[in-house]
Amino acid sequence: MALFIQLTAAALVPLTPLSDTARGYASEASAENTRRAYRAAWADFAEWCEAAGHVPLPAAPEVVGSFLAARASTHKAASLTMRLVAIGQAHRLAGHRLDTKHPAIRETMKGIRRRHGTAPAKKAAADVVVLRDRALLLVGFAGALRRSELVALDLADIRFVAEGMVLTLRRRKTDQEGRGTEVAIPFGQAERTCPVLTLRAWLEAARLTSGPVFVSVNRGGAIGTARLSPIDVAWVVKAAVEAAGGNPADFAGHSLRSGFITSAARAGVAERHIQNQSGHRSLPVLRGYIRRGSLFVDNAAAKVGL
């Protein structure tokens, strides 16, 4: 999950302030309930800044950290996280960048969660969900999978090998006859972002031996049997982006697949190798993703001494 967010974070930072018209279109990207919540959260921050004598926009990380600490006794950690997302979004729309990973913010939120954390039973249930979602994100990203392909995976479709694992996709968009397509996913460079190890950990924690790979988890942490739906993938992606301080409206279930392609292009991976992983038959469609991912690779404007 962390790898996916890092690779796509650059897309969240605008180079110049948005015009009033563009800002209006951008604001329409979120659902009305989300926009209403963000407006209330931003108003709360702005009012607190005014009372404390601070500038809300652009705000120093220390000011944001102080605001979160001031609200910690009356608001839950999830509510504070939403406020942090709203503050970050307001900065982006105004052409500013708020570093939500700054120690003044990160350590403050860490301390708030530690002191005002949820009950152990709820935490255990949340941990199971987090593990499942991490596995879903990493496997979907590394395999360049469509969300329908991701949730269609069964235990029988996974083969662990010395180099990592091989997924058998029973029916891809480009394989309507159902002959099956194999997608290889190697071990990652770090344990936390390794799709193979994370998927193994999820399967062991969930004690799954057959049937769907990605299934529901109830509020008590009990593993269900119902297969997740493609829309669930979109919600998992959006939640991960929001937790990382990004704008969830900019991402969807397809972001795992498109994010892999653009990230591979930035890393200089050959077109044919990207195509082998993604399964694209249409080179023009694939090249559209690659071009967007390569805009700043060997960019001529960077070579003229500006």
Would you name the residues annotated as active-site residues? 146, 173, 254, 257, 280, 289
* In contact, 117 and 77? CB cutoff 8 Å: yes
Cis bond before residue 195 (omega within 30° of 0): no
Q: What is the distance between the alpha carbons of residues 79 and 38, in angstroms, rounded to a whole number?
A: 11
> Which residues 6+ apart lie within 8 Å of 46 measured at CB?
56, 57
Token pair belonging to 115:
């002191």
Identify the H or E element spanning 70.
helix 61-71
CA triple 113-114-119, angle to 5 deg: 85
- In eight-state DSSP terms, residue 249 is G
DSSP 210: S
| Cβ-contact 146, 254 below 8 angstroms | yes
CA distance 137 to 142: 9
CB 134, CB 188: distance < 8 Å: no
Q: Is 244 helix (H, G, I), strand (E, B) or coil?
A: coil
**Cα separations in angstroms, 158 against 94, 185, 219:** 46, 10, 28
DSSP code for 157 = G
Is residue 9 packed enough to be buried (19+ CB in 10 Å), middle (13-18) or exposed (0-12)? middle
